[in-house]
Amino acid sequence: MTNSNASLDAATADSILPQPAPQHASELETIFGADGLLARTIDGYRPRPAQLQMARAVSAALATHDTLIAEAGTGTGKTYAYLVPAMLWGGKTIISTGTKHLQDQLFARDIPTVREALAVPVSVAVLKGRANYLCHYYLERAEHEGRFGSRHEIAQLREIVQFAKLTRSGDKAELASVPENAPIWSQVTSTRDSCLGADCPRYKDCFVMQARKEAQQADLVVVNHHLFFADVMLRDTGIAELLPSANTIVFDEAHQLPETATLFFGQTLSTGQLLELARDTVAEGLVHARDAAQWSALGAALERAARDVRLCFSQDALRVSAAQLGEAHALFEALDKLESALLDLIATLEAHAERAEALGACLRRAIDLHRLLAQWQHAEPPAGEAVASIGKAPANALGKGDESGRGGESGSADEGASVRWVEVFSHAVQLHLTPLSIAPIFAKQRGGAPRAWIFTSATLSVKGNFTHYAAQLGLDAAKSISLPSPFDYEAQSLLYVPRNLPAPSALGFTDAVLEAALPVLEVSGGRAFLLCTTLRAVKRAAERLRDEFDRRGWSYPLLVQGDASRTELLDRFRALGNAVLIGSQSFWEGVDVRGEALSLVIIDKLPFAPPDDPVLAARLDALARKGLSPFAVHQLPQAVITLKQGAGRLIRSESDRGVLMICDARLVEKPYGRRIWQSLPPFKRTRELPTVLSFFEHVEAAGAQ
C-alpha cells in the first residue's frame, strides 16, 4: 500500500493500491452502487467514490491480514466502508471506538442498518468497562450500609434497585433517570480493584461476566479505546480472551490512539484509589472480623496520609515532573508516610484475609497499590537528565522493540525510558510513570497470530503524510490511504484569518479575538462555536461575551463548557438554533451539529500543546538529543491533526454553509503556516471582514429562496 496525497483520485488509487479479490471487488461495486444493497435499505443513500475506495482497501487488508491506515474526510461514510467488508469477510471482528457515544451509535444504529442491508447472520455484542455495569454485590451493600450525601441519592438508589430487577444487560446507560456521572453509581458498581471475581456470592448473576460471555460468542464486538488498552495492559475487561480468536481489529477515531495508549501503557497511582481502599477495608473488616483489629483506626491513618499528599500542593490543575519538584519537596516525605500507613494496613490484612474473600480482595488491592507506589518512588533518572525525571517503565509493559523495524520519529535511543511526573487535582493527586515512546510496546501487542489491523479517522495525516502518526504507534506509514471529503468546501465554506491581531502570547489576546469575532457573530446570527485552547480563555470569553451581548441587546443564548454536561450543552445548542457555545478541548472533536444551527466556528489560536507538559517536554528533549527538530517532527504535526479536528466541526453535510475563523496570524505569516492550512480541507480563504460579511449575506439570500 502506498501513502497517497489527500487529493488522490480514485482512478490513481486503484492503480497503486493492492486490490481485493475479484469476486470481492465485484460484490463491493454491487453493494455500494446507486442501485445496490445499501441504496435499497437506507433512505437518501448516494454512492461515494471515496467510500467504495476505502471499502476496497479494507477488503484487501482483510484478505492479506495486513495493516491499513485510512484517513477519510468528513462525509466519506467510513463507518459503512469498514463495516461491509468486516461483516462479509472479516471473521471475528473487534471494533474499537474513540468514545462510548460512538460505541453506542455503532451498536444501536450503524451495525443493524448494514446487517439488514447485507442480510447476513452476524451476531453482535457491545462490551464496556466494568464501571458501566451494575454490580449486585455492591448494590446490596449500598442498600444496607450505603453512605449518601443527600435524599436525592437515596431516591436514585431506589430507582437503581428497581432497574436491577428489570434490566437484562445491567448497563447503567439504560437508566436515563440517573445520570451516568451521578456519584451514587460508584457505590453500586465495581472496579478492577474492588471486584471479588469468581468468589463473589452473586458471580452467576454478574452483568460484567454476562457481557463478556456474549462478546465471546459474537461475530462482531464493539468496544472503546480505553477498554481495549486497559485490557491489553491489565487483562481485566474480557478483551484478552477475545484477541486470540479475532481476525480483524478496527480502530475508529484512531487519531486518539497515541494519547489513549500512552495513558494505559504507563503506570498511574491516585490518592483516590487509596481513599477507596481505606473505606472498603474498614467496611469489610467490621463485617467479617470486627474484633480482630482496629479497622477504623487503620483506615483513618491511611486516609489521613493520602490527604496529606494532596496538602503538599497549594494549587490544583498542576502537572509537573518529579525532577522539577526537587528532592526537598514535601511530597516525598508525605509519600514515605503514606507507604508506612499502607504497609500497616497490609500487615493487618495478611493476618485476617482468610476470614473472608472480601478481605482477601482488599489485601490484593493494597499490595498492588504498594507496588505502584514503590515503582514511582524508586524510578531513577539516567545520568545527565535534568528536565524530566526519566526511569524505566515496568518490565511487564515493555516489548523488545518496534517489530516493524521502523523507529520513525521516536527511534530507539529512549526505548524503555519513562517520565516520572505528578498531576494535582482539587481533591486528589496522581503519580504517573509514562513511557516516552509507546511504539515498541504497541508493536509487541500487535504481534502473534496474523490478523488485519485497520486504523481510520478523518484526521491522521499532515498534507497526506502519515509519518508522524505511524511513528507514534510503530506502524508502517506506507500502508496508508488518504481519501478526500465529498463536500464542496470552496463553495460551502470560507476560511477567515483576521488582520491586525496581536501575537497569541500577548496580554489581552483573548479580548482581541473577541473584538474581531463580534461583527462576525452579529452577521452569523450567533449559531457559533468558539473553540479555545485553554480553560482560562473559555472563562474570559464567557465573561466578555455575556457583557457584550447584554450591552448590545443581542438575544443569542450563551452556552459555556462546565455549565452542564457536554451532551446537554449540545442538545440545547441544536434546539436553540442561534446559540453561541464556548468550549475547550472536549468540543474540538466528536461533535456533530448539522444544518443552520452551526454556521461559524471560531478558533482562538493554533493548538500547540503547552511545552511545560512534563511528558511532552521529555519527548521533545529526547528528539533534540537525537539531533532532530522537536517542533518540525512532533509539535507541528500534532497541532495540525488537532486543528483539523476543530475545523471539521463546521461542515458536516452537503447542505451546510459556514465560516471557519482562525484568529492566529501565524497561520499565514509564519513559514510553517502553509503546511498547516494546506492540511485543512480546501476552504476558500480570506483576511478581509467584508468578504466574510458578504459570504453570510449570500448564504441568507440563498436560504430565503
Side-chain half-sphere of 485: how many Cα atoms within 13 Å? 22
pLDDT of residue 14 exceeding 80: no
Q: Which pLDDT value is given to residue 19?
A: 66
Strand order in the sheet with 580-583: 558-560, 580-583, 528-531, 600-603, 658-662, 493-496, 684-686
Mean pLDDT of all residues in 214-230: 90
Q: Which pLDDT value is given to residue 185?
A: 92
Question: 542, 530 in Cβ contact below 8 A?
Answer: no
pLDDT tens digits, one per residue of 333-383:
999 999 999 999 999 999 998 998 889 999 999 999 999 999 999 875 433
The alpha helices in 167-294, defined as continuous H runs, are 185-188, 207-217, 225-234, 239-242, 257-265, 271-288
pLDDT band at 410 (very low <50, low <70, confident <90, very high): very low
pLDDT tens digits, one per residue of 534-580:
999 999 999 999 999 999 999 999 999 989 888 889 999 999 999 99
Q: Which pLDDT value is given to residue 446?
A: 86
Main-chain dihedrals φ then ψ at residue 486, nearest 5 degrees: -80, -5
Q: Which pLDDT value is given to residue 229?
A: 86
Q: pLDDT averaged over the chain?
A: 87
Q: Which pLDDT value is given to residue 389?
A: 34
Instruction: Please indicate whether residue 284 or residue 180 has the higher confidence score (pLDDT).
Output: 284
Side-chain half-sphere of 544: how many Cα atoms within 13 Å? 19
Instruction: Please indicate whether residue 191 or residue 254 has the higher confidence score (pLDDT).
Output: 254
pLDDT band at 176 (very low <50, low <70, confident <90, very high): confident
Mean pLDDT of all residues in 509-530: 96
pLDDT of residue 385 exceeding 60: no
pLDDT of residue 7 exceeding 60: no
pLDDT band at 306 (very low <50, low <70, confident <90, very high): very high
Q: Which pLDDT value is given to residue 397?
A: 34
- Give the global pTM: 0.85
Mean pLDDT of all residues in 160-167: 93
Rounded-to-integer distance, Cα 450 and Cα 13, Å: 26
Range scoring the smallest mean pLDDT among 56-60, 98-102, 235-239, 604-608: 235-239
Q: Please report which helix (H) or strand (E) contains residue 434, including its range.
A: strand 429-435
Q: Which pLDDT value is given to residue 395?
A: 35
Q: Which pLDDT value is given to residue 664?
A: 96
Rounded-to-integer distance, Cα 257 and Cα 153, Å: 36
Please name each of the domains of the chain with its CATH number: 10-123+218-262+446-483 (3.40.50.300), 130-210 (no CATH), 489-704 (3.40.50.300)
Q: Which pLDDT value is given to residue 415?
A: 58
Report the percentage of the chain scoring pLDDT > 70.
89
Mean pLDDT of all residues in 227-234: 77
